[in-house]
Copies of this chain bind each other. A is one copy, B any other.
Amino acid sequence: MQRLKAHYRVRCAARDIEAFAQSIALEQSVEVPMEVVRDAFVRERIVGTVEFIKNISEGEYALTLALSAETMRAGTNGVDVAQTFNMLFGNTSMHATVELVDVEFPEGFAQSFGGPRFGLDGLRELTGAQGRPLTCAALKPQGLPVAKLAEICLTFARNGIDVIKDDHGLADQHYSPFDERVRACQRAIEQAARETGRRALYAPSLVGPASKLFKQAKLLREEGIGAALLAPSLIGLPLFHELVTEHLNVPVLAHPSFSGAARIAQPLLMGRFFRMLGADAVIYPHYAGRFAYPEALCADIARECLAPWTGIKAAVPVPAGGMTVERVPELIDFYGRDAMLLMGGSLLRADDLAERTRQFVDSVAAAPKSGPARYATGTR
């Protein structure tokens, strides 16, 4: 069976590392306690395993997991990009003490994504830049009108720059609309090519929702644009890959924008932003479960979901991540009535699933009907 080897750096006390490593292996595969895994196929082919633990410094460990490639495939053949990252670092990314540092892919796995279509050699060939670094310059600042950006583009192209890219802040704003800007800058590229006999590659910045990005890629193909600039972490790694393989036939420059997004405060990201963008309910780890989320952080996420917000409905906080039926009274005490309680392994580990489910439902139904909302709800 094909397995990926995923290498993590883990901060942890010596006495806890074995158990923590096991819990990460389950988290990144079946997401239930091992005792719930009763099916032989799941146990042998799906469950992640701990391959290696090494103490690298005081309180710091190198951990290697073997993860089943089968969990990352769609159907029996293709590898799914989103599911690959979901299984490599989905839930474990929420542990502040764990970093994904390396991955070894089984034979043919990475190749199924395709990698660069042009890459270093292709870009050298397209630009004629041999035996030296390629050169690149950026069209900015944003706010300039199209004519001014095209003028800068012309100067860069005339004077020998290989690749001329939009600033990543140039999207489709009224002061330099995408279609108009792309056409004008490409005209500048062509003018310089006629003058100098050498054609620079222009890389417009594509920013927006998927349907818009597909349209912008179409314009690039129609206008014979030489390259494209995309920010994979901003638009999402799966959509980045889809654009490259299905919609663009030119070299792609990856921009690092938003690649450090985990440093957005969790209540702001999960509570406010997910809600603002349309989440009706927001799932997150509750205090003293599988993730070390402080109580105050959980309260803050709930507050962000529920706080009054003019014209924006309240979203439902969904505390989760290893909750048990026994903790229902405590959860109701903490959240009041305005929450959705999510049970996973706690139900599935029971011998009688129906009975355990009824206990869960009954204990929630027993919440005082007139009980107060713990956090303010409504619009603000």
Contact = CB atoms under 8 A, between A and B. Distances in A.
Nearest to A346: B137
A304 B318 CA distance: 39
19 contacts: A39-B141, A47-B143, A80-B209, A81-B209, A86-B257, A89-B264, A93-B264, A94-B259, A100-B264, A116-B313, A118-B313, A132-B369, A133-B331, A133-B337, A135-B361, A137-B360, A232-B273, A254-B281, A256-B282
A120 interface: yes
B239 A210 contact: yes
A119 interface: yes
Most chain B CB within 10 A, of A114, A116, A118, A377, is at A116
Interface stretch (A49-57, A181-189, A243-251): A243-251
Contacts of A270: 254, 256, 259
Interface in A177-231: 177, 207-212, 227, 230-231
A262 B260 contact: yes
Contact of A341 (B98, B110, B135): B135
A173 B73 contact: yes
A352 to B, nearest CB: 9
Contact of A280 (B39, B45, B116, B264): B116
B231 A86 contact: yes
Nearest to A45: B143
A237 B273 contact: yes
A96 B265 CA distance: 13
Contacts of A85: 234, 258, 261
Contacts of A136: 318, 320, 340-343
A344 to B, nearest CB: 4
Contacts of A175: 41, 46, 70
A29 B134 contact: no
Interface in A44-73: 45-47, 70-71, 73
Given A140-B344, A240-B277, 10 more contacts: A32-B140, A83-B171, A86-B257, A100-B264, A110-B311, A110-B312, A120-B377, A132-B369, A163-B281, A236-B237
B234 A115 contact: no
A120 to B, nearest CB: 4
Contacts of A171: 74, 80, 82-83, 86
Interface string A310-340: 1111111010100000000001100111111
A106 interface: no
Contact of A80 (B83, B177, B208): B208
A2 interface: no
A278 B240 contact: yes
Given A31-B167, A169-B87, A315 B71 contact: no
A306 interface: yes
Contacts of A87: 169
Contacts of A315: 115-116, 119-120, 254
Q: Which 4 A-B pairs have the closest CB atoms?
A: A236-B236, A119-B313, A262-B262, A93-B260
A233 B343 CA distance: 22
Given A93-B260, A270-B256, A280-B251, A163 B340 contact: yes
A142 B241 contact: no
Contact of A277 (B113, B274, B276): B113
A151 B119 CA distance: 49
Most chain B CB within 10 A, of A232, A309, A331, is at A232
Interface in A21-40: 29-32, 36-37, 39
A325 to B, nearest CB: 10
